Amino acid sequence: MKIAVGSDHRGFEAKQQIKAIVSELGHECIDFGTNDSNPVDYPDPAYLVAMAVSKKQADRAILTCATGLGMSIAANKIKGIRAALCHDELSAQISRDHNDANVLCISGDQVGEVLLRKIVEVWLDTEFSGGRHERRVRKIKAIEQGKDPTKVKNG
């Protein structure tokens, strides 16, 4: 898989670790910056990374900032993006299995190296299960298109 990665200055060190993990797992890593710990506004890399997924230049993406919140909010503004802020292995697994999340957001300040590795590994290894969750993802897409999700058929 092609995995886009990005961070602001507070997530830079975590992004470096994420790049290594992604490569070790045999995936191609596309780095959209930042390239050092000098201050940068998180919406900038969030936009670039989310657009790469939206335009199918990357299969999935991982973003990191101090809390992961800003990246999640910014990335979710892009059409076709389902960014999930995950703090543990279970939230990472469910974000893929149930929600078909295509962008993982992680706190660079609150998640240590061991947990970071576990979150990334689980998220990259988990596939969307479909089934009853497919209908729910269709409803998310309807909202994105300005439609009423209660009108989406169950079939």
Note the pTM of the prediction, 2 decimals.
Answer: 0.96
Q: What distance in Å separates the CA atoms of residue 140 and residue 149, rounded to the nearest whole number?
A: 7
Q: Which domain holds residue 89?
A: 2-129
Structure confidence at residue 155 as a pLDDT band (50, 70, 90):
low
Query: Can you give the pLDDT at residue 48?
Result: 98
> Quick one: how far is CA 18 from the chain centroid?
12
- Is 19 domain-assigned? yes
| CATH number for 30 | 3.40.1400.10
The answer to whether residue 30 sits within a structural domain is: yes
**Strand partners of residue 31:** 5
Of 27, 87, 98, 133, which one is the catalytic site residue? 98
Point out the catalytic residue in the list 29, 65, 86, 105.
Answer: 65
28-54 pLDDT, tens digit per residue, is 999 999 999 999 999 999 999 999 999
What is the residue type of 146?
G
Question: Where is 83: in which H helix or E strand?
Answer: strand 83-85
65 tagged catalytic: yes
In eight-state DSSP terms, residue 3 is E
pLDDT tens for each residue of 72-102: 999 999 999 999 999 999 999 999 999 999 9
